[in-house]
Structure 1
Amino acid sequence: MVDRTSGVPVHRQVAADVRDRIAAGEYGPGDRLPSEREMVESYGASRLTIREALNLLRAEGVVVTEQGRGVFVRDWTTIHRLARSRLSRSARERDRGAFRADAASEGFTPAVAVTVRFEPADERTARQLDLTPGDEVTVRERVLCADGEVVQLAVSRLSRALTRGTAIERDDAGPGGSYARLEEAGHRLGHYAEHVGSRMPTPDEVSTLQLGQGIPVLTVTRIAHGRDGTPLEMNDMVLPAHRYQLSYEWAAD
């Protein structure tokens, strides 16, 4: 189980083995790991080595320590983000658009904190929304929680020419959210395009999302287009990679 000739530090081998056992379901969410003494015997390693392995797993957010009780596999909600239906018009009409649709399908309690501000469009925003740099845009910055834990950061930008006088400029945009308000104002949505990437988080993202050491984030930029192809909104999302499964479906022809 531990190969002392591999060149890989023993504590990293132990951590990798525990991580593999968790992935295989041998240790499930909320399960208590074997004690340090049991792991010392099982891996033939020193207590210091076992502690280093557990510290590594703790820093990654894989396990948590409960004082006086032991080390447990972290129990968190994995969010299955199914692109097929979460942005549909019917979902918005039932106030089940986007994050609320995720909550309904995954069974968690959603909460969203919203901050609205206005700023001049930078080069990227202007390019994505077909604006001129410096044009005023409405910014809706959101922190999204599942069962009380922050699981997503999202920043939407829309031309203020579209949002002025609408509830989009208020924290609570009302049932169906910003997309419903756009359609009420005569901007019928036609299609969405999402661009997915990954990177390491910034220090602020680590703090807000409570990320362990070494955990990357997924980045999703969605552009919402009107029926005539006009870009209406750019939404930049940051998601902890270990919490999300992104699913996309499309026809074969």
Structure 2
Amino acid sequence: MSVSSRPRALYLRIADQIRAQISDGSLREGDRLPTEAEIAASWDTTRTTAVKGLGVLINEGLIVSQRPRGHFVRARRPMVYRPQAEFRRRPLTSEMDAFVAQLSDEGRVATQKIEVSIIKPTTEVRDRLRLAEGELTAVRRRVRYIDGVPYNTNDSYFPLDLVQGSEIMDPADITRGANTVLAELGYPQVRAIDEIHVRMPTPEEVERLHLGPGTAVASHVTTGYTASGRPVRTVINCLPGDRHVITYERAKPPISGQLVIRPASEADLDTVTSLWTGAASWLGKRGIDQWQYAPRLERIVQNIEAGECFLVEDQGVPVATITVDDHPDPDFWTSEEAEEPAVYVHRMVVRRDSSGHELGGAMLDWASQMAADQGARWVRLDAWRENQQLQEFYASRGFEHLRTVTVEGRGSGALFQRRAGDVRGAGPQLITLSPDQGTD
């Protein structure tokens, strides 16, 4: 298939030039564009072609037409919209007060209009609330304004039998919030499912939000559920694309504080191997050559059978592994050192999504205490020679760097030791389980 060599249509080149000027800042928000006649003259074309080029930019949402004044670069002063704030604890002030306070800090004026009605729900709402055919919903329809401009709509749907006679049926702002009212009615929400659909607006949304041509919207649909799994509220927010920035804040879930460490069993071989390969993959992506080979399954099996391989679990979920034995590697440790009572740490891995909780430090403390209980003098390990960050980690946890040994074919060789019984209190406490104990 050949690629057409025909030149790009002139009206598209007009649009390309103006778009580039907006992108590089030559034309700023609110700037007036040249008139249709001026554009036509500068391109030696007809006014019809100029209008067609401007129409492309209007449909893209980059400019607006304000006849008879002309065409202007669309001004964007977006509202920051945070869906994850739905279930955060908040002061006992009205929802609108919080909305007003947020925008007042920015020097903007916020208002809203609320309507409440009883309706037959659409299929979209009925399915999410799991309503039978013919069941009715109460809907609180809100339009929120900033500086007199309608910025978004927020329509909340409730099964009518749950909220009949409550504050939810009153077309006024609810001081405590609708979620609190639902909880007081016996339907507290414990989780929600969020969906975000990006699309062009419906005619009703165009009218409610005074949308111009080329303005896409994000439809944020949230359905809240009780502990029993019953859906009790569906909210549909319509957010014009030129007026909002949708911001999500993500944080690592905290560990439970009830971590256990137990000997791995034969059934855990895949888990231990998966933790190791996950760490190896992460290291490789960072340009570190540590563990860039297939897992040595035979050695892992030997450690498991000898009771030397351990798993750390958070509420039954494996989050880390460590191997501890009393076998000095003759490639690294001298015969004199091998005579000293010591335990040796190998294959210490923390799952990436559980990092940041000092699990590595907790495992080293655990190994140190175990060494002391066994009458050992030292906790020792050999770290990867080229992994400087790992070596700094061990040094910061009280390990002394003895020396670095280079052995052909071996990537490890940075030797560290710490006195047995030296517990630094780093990270969460690990509860040791024996092989015959469960994790309950």
The normalised TM-score by structure 1 is 0.79
Matched, 1:63 2:47: no
The answer to whether the 8 Å contact 1:60/1:212 transfers is no
Q: CA deviation at 1:223?
A: 0.8
In structure 1, runs of 5+ residues without a counterpart are none
Q: CA deviation at 1:59?
A: 5.6
Which range moved further: 185-194 or 158-167? 185-194
Instruction: Give 1:175-190 correspondences, 5 Å limit.
Output: 175-190=175-190
Q: CA deviation at 1:168?
A: 0.4
Matched, 1:80 2:80: yes
Instruction: Give 1:65-144 correspondences, 5 Å limit.
Output: 65=66, 67=68, 70-85=70-85, 87-90=87-90, 93-96=92-95, 103=103, 107-121=107-121, 123-144=123-144
- C-alpha change, 1:54 and 1:126, in structure 2 (3 Å) is closer
Partner of residue 159, structure 2:
159
Q: CA deviation at 1:103?
A: 3.6
Distance in 1 (CA, whole Å) between partners of 2:178 and 2:149 is 24
Partner of residue 213, structure 1:
213
The answer to whether the 8 Å contact 2:223/2:233 transfers is yes
Q: CA deviation at 1:213?
A: 2.8
The answer to whether the 8 Å contact 1:83/1:249 transfers is no
The answer to whether the 8 Å contact 1:63/1:74 transfers is yes
Distance in 1 (CA, whole Å) between partners of 2:124 and 2:64 is 39
Q: CA deviation at 1:138?
A: 0.8
SS of aligned partner of 1:11: helix
Partner of residue 239, structure 2:
239
- C-alpha change, 1:28 and 1:47, in structure 2 (3 Å) is same
Per-residue CA deviations over 1:31-86 (Å, capped at 9, x if unaligned) read 233455764576x3425133432344346552344646x54323243122123436
SS of aligned partner of 1:242: coil
SS of aligned partner of 1:77: coil
Distance in 1 (CA, whole Å) between partners of 2:74 and 2:127 is 42
Q: CA deviation at 1:11?
A: 1.7
Q: CA deviation at 1:208?
A: 3.0
Q: CA deviation at 1:129?
A: 1.9
Q: CA deviation at 1:181?
A: 2.1
Structural RMSD (CA): 3.1
Which range moved further: 101-110 or 198-207? 101-110
SS of aligned partner of 1:54: helix
Which range moved further: 231-240 or 15-24? 15-24
- C-alpha change, 1:244 and 1:20, in structure 2 (3 Å) is farther
Distance in 1 (CA, whole Å) between partners of 2:159 and 2:173 is 16
Distance in 2 (CA, whole Å) between partners of 1:107 and 1:86 is 24
Partner of residue 45, structure 2:
46
The answer to whether the 8 Å contact 2:112/2:142 transfers is yes
Partner of residue 265, structure 2:
none
In structure 2, runs of 5+ residues without a counterpart are 253-352, 354-440
Identity %: 27
Q: CA deviation at 1:171?
A: 0.6
Distance in 2 (CA, whole Å) between partners of 1:226 and 1:14 is 55
The normalised TM-score by structure 2 is 0.49
Partner of residue 322, structure 2:
none
The AA in structure 1 aligned to 2:159 is S
Partner of residue 33, structure 1:
33
Distance in 2 (CA, whole Å) between partners of 1:193 and 1:108 is 31
Distance in 2 (CA, whole Å) between partners of 1:130 and 1:72 is 47
The AA in structure 1 aligned to 2:25 is G
The AA in structure 1 aligned to 2:94 is D
SS of aligned partner of 1:17: helix
